[in-house]
Amino acid sequence: MRYANRIEKIPPYLFAEIDRAIERKKAEGADIINLGIGDPDLPTPGNIIRRLQEAVEDSKNHRYPSYAGMYAFRKTIADWYKRRFDVSLEPGKEIIALIGSKEGIAHAPLAFVNPGDITLVPDPAYPVYKIGTLLADGTPVTMPLLEENGFKPDMEKIDRKIAKKAKLLFINYPNNPTTATAELEFFREVVDFAIDNEIIVCHDAPYTEMTFDNYRARSFLEVKNAKEVGIEFHSLSKIYNMTGWRIGSAAGNSEILAGLGKVKENVDSGVFQVVQHAAIEALEGSQDSVRKNMKIFQDRRDLMVEGLQDLGWSVEKPKATFYLWFRIPKPYTSSIKFSGDLLAKTGIVMTPGIGFGSHGEGYVRCALTQKKERLEEALKRIKRFTS
């Protein structure tokens, strides 16, 4: 038996590989502190759970949902965009529900990419931008995210011949894995580039509400003409600790969303309405739990950054996301070697930067998804590891 060629092209999924490495260490009896995967350890807020419990008792929610999502859910997303970013959206045409933003991102190339077509993909980046392109038999061309450029692609350095052939351009701010943020000036550059080259922009924005120190992230859709060229993906996974619930949205250009919707109509049956009701409660209900959770993540950020700095590591405090992204310590030159040794000798999991692309080499990503006590233990182990 042979896999299809498109499957053969896909590298092993980074986080699945990490899971296998963890299981091997657990089998040896190791006490693992997993700082590798961005899965919040905090519980989903109680008001969201209670709304789900109420909704599941209603038999109307037991049937097939709308492919595009309940109008009430899409209206809630539109209201949230207006409150948060002062962006006006038409719920019936400019928003669709997703089974988590990952699903929508992976399906977007199927709607617009023919075999051999080019997409522009950041590097380092969330792997699904590249993998979605490969599954559509497209050719991903990387845009380096370099530290000296604030981990943003230099639009002027993109080969014009490549740009003219590209169908999609993926961006992601606040950024995973680098934690970089972007302001409206950058988004304006992207919109102008997309107009000049007739490219569809896909902005992945699940971390806009995970910010610190009074920083407020911006939406790509705030920029003039953004809706003419692109869509923005959002997710409830991170901010409301709902990674397992699988619900998100895409908003923006109605024609682009119609193409994505056409794919979804033929490969899935929509988001369980019970979860959509819970998502409405998440967005419309009290945000006290969000503020509390972000205070917890900020305390964890400060603890880890200051602890690693005390060990002589070069780590900066990010303004957004719940990750740290920093250069691996000397004398290491391979992020896989560093992460492997760290796991083998301390039981601590951090994600090697090379797993996010070739320009991630020399870096490591640390997720702040463990209780403070476990982070303190991790710092003790790292101190022994480096001494």
Does pLDDT of 6 surpass 90?
Answer: no
What Rg, from alpha-carbon coordinates, does the chain have? 21
Provide the residue ranges of all domains of the chain, joining segments of one domain with +.
Answer: 5-43+288-386, 46-284
**12 vs 163 pLDDT, higher one:** 163
Mean predicted confidence (pLDDT) in 192-214: 98
pLDDT in tens, 122-154: 999 999 999 999 999 999 999 999 999 999 999
Q: What's the longest Cα–Cα distance across the chain?
A: 62
pLDDT in tens, 302-325: 999 999 999 999 999 999 999 999
Provide the residue count of the chain.
387
Q: Which residues, other chains included, contact 238 with Cβ-Cβ below 8 Å and sequence gap of 6+?
A: 38, 40, 206, 207, 209, 210, 322
Please give the pLDDT value at position 176: 98
Please give the pLDDT value at position 22: 86
pLDDT in tens, 78-94: 999 999 999 999 999 99
Please give the pLDDT value at position 200: 98
Does pLDDT of 378 surpass 90?
Answer: yes
pLDDT in tens, 172-185: 999 999 999 999 99
If 0-12 CB within 10 Å is exposed, 13-18 middle and 19+ buried, where does residue 185 land? exposed
Please give the pLDDT value at position 10: 82
Please give the pLDDT value at position 1: 83
Lowest mean pLDDT across 23-37, 149-163, 276-290, 355-369: 23-37
Share of the chain above pLDDT 90, in %: 92
For helices 335-346 and 372-386, the axis angle rounded to 10 degrees is 110
Does pLDDT of 11 surpass 90?
Answer: no
Mean predicted confidence (pLDDT) in 163-168: 97
Helix ranges restricted to H, 9-100:
14-27, 46-56, 71-85
Please give the pLDDT value at position 312: 93
The pTM for the full model equals 0.96
Share of the chain above pLDDT 70, in %: 100
Does pLDDT of 13 surpass 90?
Answer: no
Q: 255 pLDDT band (50/70/90 cuts)?
A: very high
Q: Which architecture, in CATH terms, is 46-284?
A: 3-Layer(aba) Sandwich (3.40)
What CATH number belongs to 5-43+288-386? 3.90.1150.10
Please give the pLDDT value at position 18: 77
Q: 227 pLDDT band (50/70/90 cuts)?
A: very high
Q: Which residues, other chains included, contact 301 with Cβ-Cβ below 8 Å and sequence gap of 6+?
A: 212, 317, 318, 322, 324, 368
